[in-house]
């Protein structure tokens, strides 16, 4: 039987991919990639950009795409068999990329290209890709020799294993919890959430209503359940996941300690003072001190708003809800009640107007209007019946394609993300243009009965956020591998297009078009939208401090010499410095902080706020010139989206905005000006 992971087809046949395909495919593709690397560093291949690309790019791209499929399925369709296949092959994959990235012979050839007169003749995109390659060789250990290089390669293997273990522990701890609540316990919880919980229990042949720690189940209970004991039960389970307070084999304590220790050792091997300096080398921010100053300055600006937010919440909770001692499991509930009282609407009321099919129509209309494309449903094999596939076209030509996997389910990691299934690339072997394909993954509630899935307004902004990443990946016009789409974009600028898209969720003309009541079909009433707008910056001060808290914690973990032994203590110190809301001593937030322990955000979580300055300032151009102005959209598309990583992000920003970024727009948008 043909192995689908070895098929050189435009799209993977997900319907037939099985765990037993993984090892044979990866072994075959690794053999090809290793042979290509050995050829590339040999005497037959001159230090010439085209010659090296011809030898290396095709087998490395094939390997990356196949492993990308395996990695993707491990995130959205986890099974014991797939997890075992992933774990078996992860060390081999890590070893190959570490070997390629640290090969001093290949590094020497790229240095020779950069030093030759021919370098000046390279296209701007190729010059940028070459500069990135040289930087990445240095960060990849190519300057190391002997025992230092051997140790560096061993570190990469072990850190990859640890990151995967961290992620598995979070997923398993999330999946393992269930609480079967009575109807009485669920007083106040929205009917659609109760119905979904009842259906989940029925599917298992159980009585009651199955509540889980997956966000569409967990958060509405925290927001709406009148039963304080139920909220405390779920909160306690949620914040102690994957910690020493739960099942030992899912405890991430030792994983975090070892990861931080090994990252610090990697930094020393590369000649850096700490891992944060390694992380910042390819980013916009220059030093850890610059990031710490940025975060603390933002905290200082947000603190007056946050103090008022908390005082208002405490006064309301004591006076109206009888909660004189506000606990962590009361915050979402009291906040929702205060919002309802102050602005006379609830998230649940808004949710009835945001059925997913209508939302998608509205989102696609914005993209089509501003960026001069058409989005059409298309056919492709998928990994789950809920997944849909779409094609983006301009003037009848395919620009990009994407899979949309919207709903939460067991075996799917929590959160939302965009990932690359395939990058735009002018293939060196055939000179044929390969168009990009994206995975867009969310964890929304599933449809119940004959009703479509409904989104909260927060989930609406999540969808727009991930679609922004997707547009950055799919609308690129750069043909050079490594700097097309999101590839090569500085990590602290990569959130610009995603956060930019969130702003549309606060525009009346947009909301009117993408809303339709699930029963009547009526668009969201203007009066309700005005209440939402008035509540837009509700608790924005507290939310900003929360993001600063995460960013400071992350940066301190990766700069301080004793951090591996003081994870919980550092988090407590950061909270003492910036947080206003007390957290129970049993909270183990760090143990599920996948962004920095299993994602790409280690010593980079500050990027969300850093990029928010850029995105808010970019959005202000649309406020000035018209939110759906095609001229502004065309300029944004050409200077930001199409440019990808082919030039520094600050150059792309200035090409669009005509000046350096300013923080004013962010403060104004969040009501903190």
Question: Greatest CA separation found in the chain?
Answer: 81
At residue 437, φ and ψ (nearest 5 deg) are -135, 135
Cβ neighbours of 150 (radius 10 Å): 12
Closest CA to 614 of 516, 513, 497: 497
Cβ neighbours of 236 (radius 10 Å): 15
329: left (phi over 0), alpha (psi -120 to 50) or beta: alpha
Q: Is 133 helix (H, G, I), strand (E, B) or coil?
A: helix
DSSP 443: E
CA-CA-CA-CA torsion sign (242, 245, 249, 251): positive
Using alpha carbons, list the distances in angstroms from residue 16 to 4, 20, 347, 349.
Answer: 7, 11, 40, 42
Nearest-angstrom CA–CA distance, 492 and 486: 12
Closest CA to 243 of 597, 592, 566, 602: 592
Among the options 266, 401, 459, 466, which is catalytic? 466
Q: Contacts by 105-108 with C-beta closer than 8 Å and gap 24+?
A: 105/41, 106/37, 106/40, 106/41, 106/52, 106/137, 106/142, 107/134, 107/137, 107/142, 107/143, 108/47
Q: Is 209 helix (H, G, I), strand (E, B) or coil?
A: strand
336 is catalytic: no
Nearest-angstrom CA–CA distance, 175 and 601: 24
Q: Is 173 helix (H, G, I), strand (E, B) or coil?
A: helix
CA-CA-CA-CA torsion sign (586, 590, 594, 597): negative
Nearest-angstrom CA–CA distance, 496 and 619: 10
Closest CA to 50 of 99, 119, 117, 134: 119
What residues act catalytically?
466
């Amino acid at each position: 039987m043909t192995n689908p992971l070895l098929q050189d087809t435009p799209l993977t046949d997900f319907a037939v991919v099985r765990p037993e395909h993984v090892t044979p495919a990866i072994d075959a593709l690794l053999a090809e990639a290793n042979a290509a690397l050995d050829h590339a560093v040999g005497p037959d291949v001159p230090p010439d950009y085209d010659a090296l690309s011809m030898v290396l790019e095709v087998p490395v791209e094939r390997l990356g795409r196949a492993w990308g499929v395996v990695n993707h399925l491990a995130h959205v369709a986890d099974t014991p068999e797939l997890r075992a296949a992933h774990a078996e092959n992860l060390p081999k994959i890590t070893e190959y990329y570490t070997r390629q990235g640290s090969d001093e012979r290949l590094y020497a050839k790229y240095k020779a290209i950069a030093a030759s007169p021919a370098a000046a003749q390279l296209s701007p995109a190729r010059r940028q890709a070459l500069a990135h390659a040289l930087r990445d060789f240095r960060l990849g250990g190519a300057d190391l020799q002997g025992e230092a290089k051997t140790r560096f390669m061993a570190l990469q293997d072990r850190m990859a294993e640890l990151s995967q273990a961290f992620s598995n522990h979070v997923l398993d701890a999330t999946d393992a919890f269930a609480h079967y609540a009575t109807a009485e316990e669920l007083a106040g919880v929205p009917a659609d959430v109760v119905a979904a919980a009842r259906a989940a229990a029925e599917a298992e042949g159980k009585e009651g209503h199955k509540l889980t720690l997956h966000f569409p189940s967990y958060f509405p209970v925290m927001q709406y359940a009148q039963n304080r004991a139920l909220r405390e039960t779920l909160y306690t389970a949620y914040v102690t996941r994957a910690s020493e307070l739960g099942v030992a084999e899912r405890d991430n304590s030792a994983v975090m300690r070892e990861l931080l220790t090994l990252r610090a050792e990697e930094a020393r091997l590369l000649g850096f003072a700490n891992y944060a300096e390694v992380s910042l080398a390819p980013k916009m921010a220059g030093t850890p001190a610059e990031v710490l100053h940025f975060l603390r300055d933002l905290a200082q600006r947000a603190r007056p708003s946050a103090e008022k937010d908390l005082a208002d919440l405490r006064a309301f909770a004591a006076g109206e809800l009888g909660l004189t001692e506000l606990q962590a499991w009361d915050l979402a509930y009291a906040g929702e009640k205060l919002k309802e009282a102050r602005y006379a609407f609830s998230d649940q009321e808004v949710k009835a107007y945001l059925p997913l099919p209508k939302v998608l129509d509205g989102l696609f209309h914005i993209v089509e209007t501003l960026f001069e494309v058409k989005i059409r449903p298309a056919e492709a094999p998928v990994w789950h019946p809920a997944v849909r596939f779409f094609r983006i076209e301009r003037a009848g030509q395919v620009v990009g394609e994407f899979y949309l996997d919207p709903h939460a389910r067991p075996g799917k990691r929590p959160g939302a993300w965009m990932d690359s299934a395939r990058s735009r690339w002018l293939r060196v072997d055939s000179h044929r243009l390969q168009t990009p394909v994206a995975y867009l993954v969310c964890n929304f509630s599933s449809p119940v009965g004959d009703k479509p899935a409904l989104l909260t307004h927060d989930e609406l902004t999540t969808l727009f956020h991930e679609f922004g990443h997707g547009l950055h990946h799919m609308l690129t016009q750069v043909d050079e591998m490594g700097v097309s789409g999101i590839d090569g974009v500085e990590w602290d600028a990569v959130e610009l297009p995603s956060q930019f898209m969130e702003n549309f969720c606060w525009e009346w003309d947009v909301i009117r078009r993408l809303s339709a009541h699930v029963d009547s079909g009526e668009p969201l009433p203007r009066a309700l939208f005005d209440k939402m707008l008035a509540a837009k910056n509700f608790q924005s001060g507290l939310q900003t401090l929360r993001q600063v808290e995460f960013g400071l914690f992350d940066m301190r973990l990766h700069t301080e010499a004793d951090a591996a032994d003081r994870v919980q203590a550092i988090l407590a110190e950061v909270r003492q410095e910036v947080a206003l809301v007390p957290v129970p001593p049993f909270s183990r937030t760090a143990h599920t902080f996948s962004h920095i322990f299993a994602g790409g955000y280690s010593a980079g979580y500050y990027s969300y706020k850093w990029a928010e300055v850029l995105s808010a300032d970019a959005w202000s151009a649309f406020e000035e010139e018209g939110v759906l102005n095609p001229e502004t959209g065309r300029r944004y598309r050409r200077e930001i989206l199409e440019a990808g990583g082919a030039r520094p992000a600050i150059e792309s920003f200035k090409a669009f905005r005509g000046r350096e970024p300013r923080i004013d727009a962010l403060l104004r948008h969040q009501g903190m000006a």
